[in-house]
A and B are shown apart, each in its own frame.
Chain A
Amino acid sequence: MRYLPKSQSDRETMLREIGAKSIDDLFAAIPAEYRVKGDLDIPRSYAEGEIVDFFRQRATESAQGYATFLGAGAYSHYRPLVIDSLISRGEFFTAYTPYQPEIAQGTLQSIFEFQSMICELTGMDVANASMYDGSTGAAEALMMAARVTGRSKSAVAATVHPEYREVITTYARYQGMPVSTFGCAKNGRVDLDTLALAIDDDTAGVLIQSPNFFGTIEDVAAIAEIAHDKGALLIVSIAEAISLGIVKPPAEADIVSMEAQSFGVPLGFGGPYCGVMATRERFVRQMPGRLVGEARDRNGKRGFVLTLATREQHIRREKATSNICTNQGLMALMCGIFMTVYGREGLKELATQNLAKAHYAAEQFKKSGATLLFEGAPRFNEFVIETKTDPYAINDKLLGQRIIGGFPLKKFYPELSNASLWCCTETTAKASIDAAAKEVAL
């Protein structure tokens, strides 16, 4: 086996030194009746070239090279090549969690920079080193709000990503955390009246997403006022991180729970992605996940360490803020590099291109006869249209042109039966938009 650095004679020497007659002696603790007899029933060992061929074949069966109008929580953005070049350094990707800071400063400093950039973009004071993804991050943010406020209920907007809401349902069920839902107005924004009704004196956290699942940018300040009036925390979930380049940060929020996949993480059929949580300094001791902080060594030299670990499972066990241990470290590094590449001007320029493409597409679709839903509030790079025909039928036609159409919303919102959610990014070509505009006319 090519990954194993031992010759048969090494093995024999080592066994002899241990005083074992055969390797089976070392497995004597396993009761004989349970030992596997013979081989596991899995395929034979493959050569490297065969493995490459196998996966190349699977890749060609996965819509390789298609244009896509899908967003809905996973976004197709160009990934600068320096990202993979840098994260492919073994020093980064074959290292463990930086528990020994003297030989992990590379990881620690990169996370410190990541935390700093997330704070800058979200308007929060502190950000953690990552969560699994946006969905679990949102669930954990609600649990954090319960710890901070000592209250038990949650209120969640119906315009939060439906799969995030499913995860929240799973997590909340056994936390003793009742979850109520509030809907949106005709313009796609949270309906402030229903919101007020969904919050009471026992509501710990109010969760919204902005831009929301329909692409609409929420009036965070107005929502924050209502939540804060009742003593609840406002949690803003951000699924499309690029929006932060051009959309006002949710500075009125108490917790921002982000999915940072758009910052250079490949679509990868849904994962691994990069959740991250940011909050106010006064809430930091209730925040889940790892945190990197600045420290000094004996000679006064600056370095970085994992800190405030008394929140975490390895110290606090059942009293920890979360059970999270392994996080999405390498994805946070990808995001950090992406944010550095684009930086202060580039993120703005990039976000503006997204805005322009989506705006053009929405206009073209409207001209073709599709109805634009949720007009009257600002959007970023996604929009909802209603068509005369079933969106699945439209998508079938587009698929023949190697274009993946928008996301049919009836999967999650049966009442929106002929509506679909379309996303345009800087990678969406005008030609694809024009081709799609023809089909949505039908």
Chain B
Amino acid sequence: MNLNEKIRKATTHISQNEGLIFEKSSPGKKGYKLPPLDVPEVDPAELLGEQAREDLGQMPEVSEIEIIRHYTRISTWNYAVDHGMYPLGSCTMKYNARVNEYVARLTGLAEAHPYQPERVTQGALRILQMLSEQLIEITGMDAITLQPAAGAHGELTGILMVRAYLESRGNPRKKILIPDSAHGTNPATAAMAGYAVENLKSNAAGMVDMASLEAQVNDDVAALMLTNPNTLGVFEQEIHKIADVLHAKGALMYMDGANMNALVGKVRPGDFGADVMHLNLHKTFSTPHGGGGPGSGPVACKKILEPFLPTPVVITKKDGTLGFDYNRPQSVGRVRMFYGNFGMHVRALAYIMANGPEGLRLTTEDAVLNANYIRKKLEGIYDLPYSTPTMHEVVFSDRLQTPKGVKTGDIAKRLIDYGFHPYTVSFPLVVHGALMIEPTESESKEELDLFIDAMKSIAEEAEQHPEIIAEAPHNTRISRLDETMAARKPVLRWKPPAAAAGK
């Protein structure tokens, strides 16, 4: 049978082979040229004495054309948003606008030194202030820090602020409540902030179970870390009651804002009771994921938490110019050197400017529309464990396919053959065999229909030829890699063949 018969989005093509850069190296090749030195030469051995280094060992020696070809060739082995739909749930893989990249590279911004005098840095400070103001408006909060470098770093910052606030009132308390559907960073963060983690059960609708919440919130609870919409793509309908239960016992509500792409312009966490939250600029505000990072995780909070924000914060000084305020005695301190991932702040502001209020709202609407369209078209073909309304992402399970031995991870691999990046596999943990699909607003109806067709076709294959799926992907450069062996005998760096063979 023809493995590729039903595949419409992609076909195979020539792909260049390429070794490791070290394998192209040979002594004397150069990819650089330095200008002549305009000061007297020095002898490193003389200036550095025994601290001088003789040799850089196995560092590569290659020419410029080889460098271009090397990285270009290996780049073609990646799938990316620029190729097509990238429906990784919880990751919000949306279009990364080119104007964002352009403006972040403008000389004055790209070359600004973090310690240059404030008076000649008003432009960069203005960007920080404008982004802060706009994110405050979007979240409905009162104050913000842009310092955290990613979502998890924002979580740590926010929870430390909760801790400092509670401490200032006499008791930091002992634990953080975290729903069983939460992302792994939430419990890891609570532990780093010195809190015990207590699990909170979801109810049959996939939402926080109010009875459990009421039973579990007591004077030991510092905060609830809640993702809203949660990782099932479900909006916590009793969100304000949740906040009330917490507040009545002196606990706070931390909102993981990873899923803000479902809310921007439609509802504001500050209005529904969140006390502190982080945003992922690399999700909702379109800064690129870069193959793993960088991100940016601003933390917005209510007035009561403002004194505890990390130092420094941007202020307008008496003379009307902008500057940093370091004098914040109640601050949790610094969470990162300098002011955060400024390059991401530039991009996020450019994204907000391109959209304006209507664009942001329409973006949210399209993101939710796309997820609901996929849900409608695939419901019944894939098991939908929670029938609660879907926001920006939909979570199916592999229950209908497992009798044939086909699991979510296999379906994901087969999607690769169909020309798509897989959805998020096996998360959230509350759904056994989860398929977590987040299309974002960046997909056209045509692309969604291709995806839906692919998913249907894979479901048919699961019935008729489950072995095709079990061995997928078939059309990639490499087949499934042996991850167990990779972890058992880790090879984490290149070594010259002789050394690798055991000296």
Asked if A194 lies at the interface with its beta carbon under 8 angstroms from chain B, I say no
Task: Decide yes or no: A163 and B289 within 8 Å by CB, A86-B72, A407-B115 being known contacts.
Answer: no
Q: Can you report 18 residue pairs joining A to B where beta carbons are below 8 Å apart?
A: A17-B376, A64-B111, A93-B101, A106-B291, A111-B292, A175-B194, A247-B48, A268-B104, A295-B482, A298-B482, A318-B190, A323-B189, A326-B294, A340-B60, A341-B31, A344-B58, A356-B37, A360-B40
Say whether A330 faces chain B, with CB atoms less than 8 Å apart: yes
Partner of A55, one of B44, B56, B103: B103
Are A355 and B47 within 8 A (Cβ)?
A: yes
Q: Whole-angstrom distance between the alpha carbons of A171 and B77 in the complex?
A: 39
- Which chain A residues in 339-383 approach chain B with CB under 8 Å? 339-353, 355-357, 359-360, 378-379
A40 with B137: in contact, given A126-B493, A266-B343 (CB under 8 Å)? yes
B319 contacts partner chain A, Cβ-Cβ < 8 Å: no
Is B110's CB under 8 angstroms from A268's CB? yes
Q: Are A103 and B116 in contact (CB under 8 A)?
A: no
Cβ-based interface call for A4 (8 A): yes
- Tell me the minimal C-beta distance from A16 to chain B in angstroms: 11
Partner of A266, one of B86, B111, B334, B447: B111
Contacts of B99 in A (CB 8 A): 48, 51-52
A124's closest neighbor in chain B, by CB? B493
A105 to B487: give the CA distance in the assembly, Å: 17
Closest chain-B Cβ to A312's Cβ sits at a distance in Å of 8
B192 at the interface (CB under 8 A from A): yes
Residue A230 is within 8 A (CB to CB) of chain B in the complex: no
List chain A residues, Cβ under 8 A from B55.
344
CB-based contact B291/A93 at 8 Å: yes
* A318 touches which of B56, B197, B485 (Cβ 8 Å): B197
* Residues of chain A with a CB closer than 8 A to B124's CB: 58, 61-62, 269
Stretch in A112-120, A146-154, A179-187 with 4+ CB within 8 Å of B: A112-120
A318 cross-chain contacts in B, Cβ below 8 A:
187-188, 190-191, 197
Q: Tell me, yes or no, whether A95 is within 8 Å of chain B by CB.
A: yes
| A322 and B192 contact, CB distance less than 8 A | yes
CA distance in complex: A105, B79 (Å): 9
The listed residue (A6, A18, A51, A62) touching B350 by CB distance below 8 A is A51
Interface residues of A in 260-282 (CB under 8 A from B): 266-272
**Chain A 215-249: CB-based contact to B (< 8 A → 1; otherwise 0):** 00101000000000000000000000000111111
Query: Is B150 a contact of A271 with CB atoms below 8 Å?
Result: no
| Bitwise interface map of B from 322 to 341 toward A, beta carbon under 8 Å scored 1, else 0 | 00000000001111111111
Query: Is residue B254 contacting chain A, with contact meaning CB distance below 8 A?
Result: no
In the assembly, what is the distance between CA of A130 and CA of B53, in Å? 25
The number of chain B residues with a CB under 8 A from chain A is 198
CB-CB contacts of B45-61 with A at 8 A, as 1s and 0s? 00111111101111111
Contact with B along A62-82 (1 / 0, CB 8 A): 111110101011101000101
What chain B residues lie within 8 Å of A348 (beta carbons)?
53, 56
Choose from A19, A89, A120, A353 the contact partner of B34 (Cβ within 8 Å): A353
A30 with B427, Cβ < 8 A, contacts A64-B107, A86-B72, A103-B416 known: no
| Contact across chains for A314 and B107 when beta carbons are under 8 A apart | no
Assess A80 versus B32: contact at CB under 8 Å? Given A248-B53, A355-B47. yes
Task: Return chain A residues, CB-CB under 8 Å to B483.
Answer: 295, 305, 307
Interface size of A in residues (CB-CB distance below 8 Å): 200
What separation, in Å, do the CA atoms of A56 and B336 have in the docked complex? 27
A320 touches B114 (CB 8 A): no
Q: Indicate whether A393 reaches chain B with its CB closer than 8 angstroms.
A: no
Contact B293 A323 (CB under 8 A): no
Say yes or no for B352: interface residue by CB 8 A criterion.
yes
Contact B78 A46 (CB under 8 A): no
Q: Using known A-B contacts A103-B476, A247-B52, A308-B487, determine if residue A317 contacts B108 with beta carbons closer than 8 Å.
A: no
Cβ of A178 < 8 Å from any Cβ of B? no
Indicate whether B271 reaches chain A with its CB closer than 8 angstroms. Answer: yes
What would 16 more interface pairs be, CB under 8 Å, given A66-B116, A116-B20?
A: A26-B391, A34-B268, A46-B356, A58-B126, A112-B492, A125-B492, A246-B44, A248-B50, A248-B53, A271-B338, A291-B490, A317-B197, A325-B152, A337-B67, A343-B25, A356-B39
> How distant is the Cα of A353 from the Cα of B183 in the complex, in angstroms?
48
Q: Which residues of B contact A163 (CB under 8 A)?
A: 334, 337-338
B185 sits at the interface (CB 8 A): yes
Contact between B359 and A45 (Cβ–Cβ < 8 Å)? yes
Taking CB as reference atom, which chain A residue is nearest B326? A411
Minimum Cβ distance to chain B for residue A140 (Å): 9
Given A29-B389, A346-B30: A5 and B108 within 8 A (CB)?
no
Within 153-173 of A, Cβ neighbours of B (below 8 Å) are at: 161, 163-164, 166-167, 169-171, 173
- List residues of chain A with CB within 8 A of the CB of B88: 96
Restricting to B1-41, which residues have a CB under 8 Å from any CB of A? 20-22, 25, 27, 30-32, 34-35, 37-41
Set A76, A342, A345, A399: member contacting B111, Cβ < 8 A: A76
Q: Least Cβ distance of B106 to chain A in Å?
A: 4
CB-based contact B117/A36 at 8 Å: no
Q: B494 → chain A, closest Cβ, in Å?
A: 4
| CB-based nearest B residue for A278 | B493
A349's nearest neighbour on chain B, judged by CB, is B34
A115 to chain B, nearest CB (A): 5
Which residues does chain A contribute within 8 Å of B83, judged by CB atoms? 90-91
Q: Mark B221-234, 1 if CB is under 8 A from A, else 0.
A: 00000000000001
CA distance A296 to B51 in the complex (A): 41
Residues of B within 8 A of A48 (CB): 99, 354
In the assembled complex, B220 has its CB within 8 A of some CB on chain A:
no
Question: Could you give, for residues 438-459 of chain B, a 1 whenever the CB lies within 8 Å of some chain A CB and a 0 otherwise?
Answer: 0001111101000000000000
Query: Which A residues are CB-close (under 8 A) to B96?
Result: 90, 93-94
